[in-house]
Amino acid sequence: MDFQTGVFYFLSAILIFASLRVITARNPVHAALHLILAFFTCGGIWALLQAEFLAIAIILVYVGAVMVLFLFVVMMLDINIDRIRQGFWNYLPLGALLGLLMVMEMGLVLGSKYFQVPAAEAMVPAGVSNTKTIGALMFTDYVYPFELASLILLVGMIAAIVLTYRGPKKSKYTNPNQQVFVKAKDRVRVLQMPVEKD
């Protein structure tokens, strides 16, 4: 077993452990932390596959931004484990069906070699930055799917704002523009008065 294989098994073991803890941990913050660990390890495995752009992107986007907000929300929630457990048997058939579907899809993708579908060999010649390659491909061959994806994200963003917007704000707030233009003589009045003597 060479060094690279050893690193792969080490990272995979951590990844599997972390993913299991995401669904078994009773404390939601612990579960979120294990999800972060899972993303990070996933980045490590991708770096091992020489996909350094994807590896860094998953850490930058998921670990650095998405999970921060996720953790932020999870910390604020008052989650009652027992109440969530109540519906377990009702949801089990649907959940099991979805799980089975996902396993089948993954099997189809990973087993493509077995089903005689020629898989693209992902070997990159040395000296080619795959950041540059992905960028070039994204804005030439895949420009429409890429723009479509960004449009969907924009729709999601607007939808989130529409769902949470509750009409114009009624609370009192300060107007920074007015604050900036305040002069000392608007607020303070200097009075001339004769000196008082006792």
Residues making contact with another protein (CB under 8 A): 29, 33, 36, 52-53, 56-57, 59-60, 63-65, 68-69, 71-72, 75, 129, 131, 173-174, 176
Say if residues 134 and 124 touch (Cβ distance below 8 Å).
no
Query: In whole angstroms, how close is the CB of 179 to another protein at the nearest point?
Result: 9
Say if residues 47 and 55 touch (Cβ distance below 8 Å).
yes
128 Cα distance to chain centroid:
28
- Rounded to 10 degrees, the C-alpha dihedral 87/89/72/159 comes to -70
Tell me the H-state helices in 63-87. 67-76, 81-86
Query: In whole angstroms, how close is the CB of 26 to another protein at the nearest point?
Result: 13
First to last CA, the chain: 100
Q: Residue holding tokens 């890429």? A: 146
Query: In whole angstroms, how close is the CB of 134 to another protein at the nearest point?
Result: 11
CA angle at 96 for the pair 95 and 100, rounded to the nearest 5°? 120
Q: With respect to another protein, which residue has the nearer C-beta, 15 or 62? A: 62
Q: With respect to another protein, which residue has the nearer C-beta, 15 or 37? A: 37
Q: With respect to another protein, which residue has the nearer C-beta, 105 or 147? A: 147
Q: With respect to another protein, which residue has the nearer C-beta, 27 or 112? A: 27
Q: With respect to another protein, which residue has the nearer C-beta, 26 or 113? A: 26
Query: In whole angstroms, how close is the CB of 56 to another protein at the nearest point?
Result: 5
Query: In whole angstroms, how close is the CB of 63 to another protein at the nearest point?
Result: 6
